[in-house]
Structure 1
């Protein structure tokens, strides 16, 4: 990182941390609007908590942008501007609890379209024969990019279940993209990714370990959009980077959302219906509750969040080693995806089995056994 980028990252970290602390100490003034209460099947916290952590992250990024050099500003500004639909619709849900899932999904896709309009970047390849030919058509490429951006943004929202989980994963993923960009000589993108990581890291230290503030939908959607757009820029600016390597970095949220759709389909549940069968939920109930049963629920939540979030380190190492080879990075993505399914099966069935066997068993025997 250049000295200027380090300065911008430091400003982003400090501003985000301080603003998060201010929201925590002033929650009695704004709590009627900003609190996340404890009712709901996916709620694991035990006290009402501000869920507007995305606001300090965005403001911290604005401050970091304002103090950095022009070439870095040119990469960060489109992320700030284009991320507004995803961020604002998410914050609206945080404050009103009345913005539907489809509206938020469309907002994240609109952010992808706006980012393309501002930068002219889009996904023109995924390193799959035939699909790349389709993506050579601008309309197809832009629509596909919008879907991909919306998918990643919603995936981050889905894994945002425990203290430190989404912020650990996202911080590490930004670092992973920065390392790949640095390896291929795209130092400006590497610096931009590090600045984004620093802003999220500032939030982490107020969210973890005591859960004093949550990302909320505004935070998770903005971070998800930013991650997706950094990946788009990495591929658009560097033809030597495999599209599968970019996917490997975010393998956990991507696999989680795909498997959640599959799981709800075979269980004949609505795809948008919340449940407690996510990977991180099972890790807490199967292992953390057993190993750390004497600790408080908040402590167990925080341990689970960091344990699952740190799994991203494995993905980053594999992505950094295989980014120049489509075959190897695709193999890494497949291996990590199958590993996810195998471990999920182990938590559900209490013994190891083939991931293909688990995916093909009868719906009513797959996850009904979870207690």
Structure 2
């Protein structure tokens, strides 16, 4: 009987009720977007041209709009302390969201403009809340972050980097939404462990809104996240990480970073390999980790399935990797040294698997990074 009462108390908690409203609202609005695409499709469709694109039919790419609107509904149902934390996320996320949606509709907003918009969201969040990164658990850098200007600039760059990393991994049905949902849940677990119940509730609400989108995006790809959705989710992930670190001194900065190890490593490694090949950092290609997994493994494992189904399998397979990072971060969040070691191990593991897919044999990730022969182009 005590267990039953405890479970009833959990499900009746204001945070979970707000999360439920966020999930239902986002899902319903996503379905509405799909049903009404003949009216807005001329503006919102993502067509199939582009070297980095794998989908086979024009699809609306404005999934970020239902997510933000679903979050507004959840805000209205949340308790006051959660509303106070969600309000800056909604307002500060507007530059990233608006510039992303503008790109989704016009296809004319440059990469640098979108990057600056995500950084502007980080600056706006600091201006509203007065939170900025004051430590990253690295000697010397922490001293530099004691200066407000350095702290604010570093925070803006970090927020912009994470926001853009979500956009980069958004390549298959369910990938970015699975990864982001698990990451928000991971932050919620850490926040709950250290007694920051407000931040835990906010993280669960954000996870629920993204999860509502997931069930329309996966497995059939009826609606895409788009730049507006990926940038807003990326900003929200980055800002939750900032709040987790700044509100809870016992949480290692590396633990917060570890939760997003996949997109962060992906964007850094993509910049690195494009620089090696003397290409622009924003140059699109089919050599992302998720692209290679589909081409090297999923296509071989499921040869008889349609390409769209293989895309969806790849999405949840790669997105699900974040579960390992989230659990590991929850276990070692109180130790900077352990968190740094696990983060490094996961990042090097990513590089090792990438090297295996490119070279067709296992090798040291450090050797792969330092001695890179010209890679053969991968066929679709």
Separation (CA, whole Å) in 1 of partners of 2:178 and 2:225: 12
1:64 has 2:74 as partner: yes
* d(CA) in 2 for partners of 1:316, 1:54: 24
* 1:98 counterpart (108, 123, 143): 108
Tell me, yes or no, if structure 1 residue 368 matches structure 2 residue 371. no
CA distance in 2: counterparts of 1:369 and 1:139, whole angstroms: 44
The DSSP-based 3-state class of the residue aligned with 2:241 is: helix
Q: CA deviation at 1:363?
A: 4.4
Matches within 5 A, 1:146-185: 146-185=156-195
Question: C-alpha distance in 2, partners of 1:80/1:363?
Answer: 45
What CA distance in whole angstroms lies between the structure 1 residues aligned with 2:161 and 2:136? 15
Aligned equivalent of 1:330: 340
Instruction: Describe the superposition over 1:132-176 as per-residue Cα deviations: whole angstroms up to 9, x where unpaired.
Output: 000000000000000000000000000000000000000000000
Q: Give unmatched runs, 5+ long, in structure 2.
A: 1-9
Instruction: Give the 5 Å matches for 1:197-216.
Output: 197-216=207-226
Divergent runs of 4+, >6 A: none
Within 5 A, what are the aligned runs for 1:120-269? 120-269=130-279
Q: Give the paired residue count.
A: 369
The match for 1:274 is: 284
Structure 1 Cα separation of the partners of residues 63 and 203 of structure 2: 19
For 2:108 and 2:220, locate their aligned partners in 1 and report how far apart those are by CA, in whole Å.
28
Residue from 86, 91, 100 that aligns with 1:76: 86
CA distance in 2, matches of 1:70, 1:38: 44
CA contact (8 A) 2:286 2:378 kept: no
Question: The residue matched to 1:99 in structure 2 has which SS?
Answer: coil
2:329 to 304, 319, 322: 319
Distance change (3 Å), C-alpha of 1:370 and 1:360:
farther
Work out whether residues 267 and 363 of structure 1, in 8 Å CA contact, stay in contact via their aligned partners in 2. no
Partner secondary structure for residue 334 of structure 2? coil
Name 2:126's counterpart in structure 1: 116
Gapped runs of 5+ residues in structure 1?
A: none
TM score, norm. by length of structure 1 = 0.98
Which deviates more from structure 2 when the two are superposed, residues 169-178 or residues 4-13?
A: 4-13
SS at the partner of 1:45?
coil
User: Which secondary structure does the structure 1 equivalent of 2:203 belong to?
Assistant: helix
Provide the C-alpha distance between the structure 2 equivalents of 1:297 and 1:369, rounded to a whole number of angstroms. 20
Q: CA RMSD in A?
A: 0.8
CA spacing shift, 1:363–1:265, aligned 2, 3 Å: farther
Counterpart-to-counterpart distance in 1, 2:254 and 2:139: 13
Cα shift readout 1:214-271 (whole Å, capped 9, x = no counterpart): 0000000000000000000000100000000001000000000000000001111111
Task: Tell me what 1:32 maps to.
Answer: 42
State the distance in 2 between where 1:354 and 1:123 align. Answer: 33
- Tell me the TM-score normalized by structure 2: 0.96
CA separation in 1, counterparts of 2:203 and 2:169? 21
Taking the aligned partners of 1:68 and 1:167, their CA distance within structure 2 comes to 22
Deviations for 1:1-37, whole angstroms, at most 9, x for unmatched residues? Answer: 6611111111110110001001101111110000000
**Cα distance in 1 for residues equivalent to 2:38 and 2:105:** 15
CA deviation map 1:47-93 (0-9, x unaligned): 00000000000000000001111001001010000000000000000
Contact 1:123 1:142 in 2 (8 A): yes
Q: Does 1:10 align with 2:17?
A: no
Aligned to 1:48: 58
The whole-number CA distance in structure 1 between the counterparts of 2:296 and 2:108 is 34
